[in-house]
Amino acid sequence: MSNENIASIIGKVQKLLSLASNNTNENECKTARELADKLIQQYRLSMADIESKGGESESFLSRKVCEGGKRRQWVEVLLHALCQTYGGAFFFTSQRSGGCGGRGGGIGGIGKQSYTVIAQESDLSVIEYMLSYLCAEVDRLARWNTGGQGIAASNGFRSGCAAGISSQFSELRASMRVSAEAAGQSTALVLLDKRQELASAHMNAENNLTKGACLTGGTDYDSMRHGYSEGRKVNINRKGIESGNNNRQLG
């Protein structure tokens, strides 16, 4: 399994999602996004199938996928859904500098937050790209729907939107399982199921982690409900993988 393989898939997915984002035709937009997701799922199953038959498995890598001034609850919701779906684990790191005594306190203190994902090489590439794409979608929808309504409305919308997207990934995983079993890929599916557990074990073995505080999406519940409804419309293919497909379609 080479970097070129997953790079080729990501390139195709990028083109399809770009087509979807720039297309005003709803049916064509939906088709492009469904094809993008199908490419990813077919690739992962085909590679897991090779691994189940004695092929070499990929090593686990860690990479920062998102940085900013503070933690963002809606980003963590997306990361959780992506890691569950694509076999990864993540943790956040918070640092402060400047201010009183150079420790980040008081006036002039600056906070920095980063998210690191651990996954097998190809899964990590998928998680990283999909996170970038979905964050851009949530931001775009939030600007469109809550512009001028204040920070609370914007944050609430983003939180709800991420939850709506996450709910679709839950349905996608269930559908993928049914389709994979119908296609006779149960052994490959077992390997994929174990990837998140293995990624979590690798993360805990390599890092001295402590439990962080839980975040909420705010108290603007009307904006959260609106965001959830819009998040459900972000087209994540829930049909799973059609039986009879093979990796020759991936090019």
Q: What pLDDT was estimated at residue 31?
A: 63
CA distance 179 to 37: 14
pLDDT of residue 212: 83
Distance CA 221, CA 24 (A): 30
Domain ranges of the chain: 3-244
* Helices and strands of the chain, counted as H and E runs: 7, 3
pLDDT tens track for 160-188: 999 999 998 888 778 777 776 776 766 66
- Longest CA–CA separation in the chain, Å: 64
Three-class DSSP category at 175: helix
Task: Give the pLDDT score at 3.
Answer: 42
Segments of the chain scoring below 70 in pLDDT = 1-57, 96-109, 180, 183, 185-190, 235-251
First-to-final CA distance of the chain: 14
Position 106 scores a pLDDT of 56
Angle at 217 between CA 231 and CA 72, to 5 degrees: 90
Q: What is the pLDDT of residue 119?
A: 93
Q: Report the pLDDT value the prediction gives residue 2, as an integer from 0 to 100.
A: 40
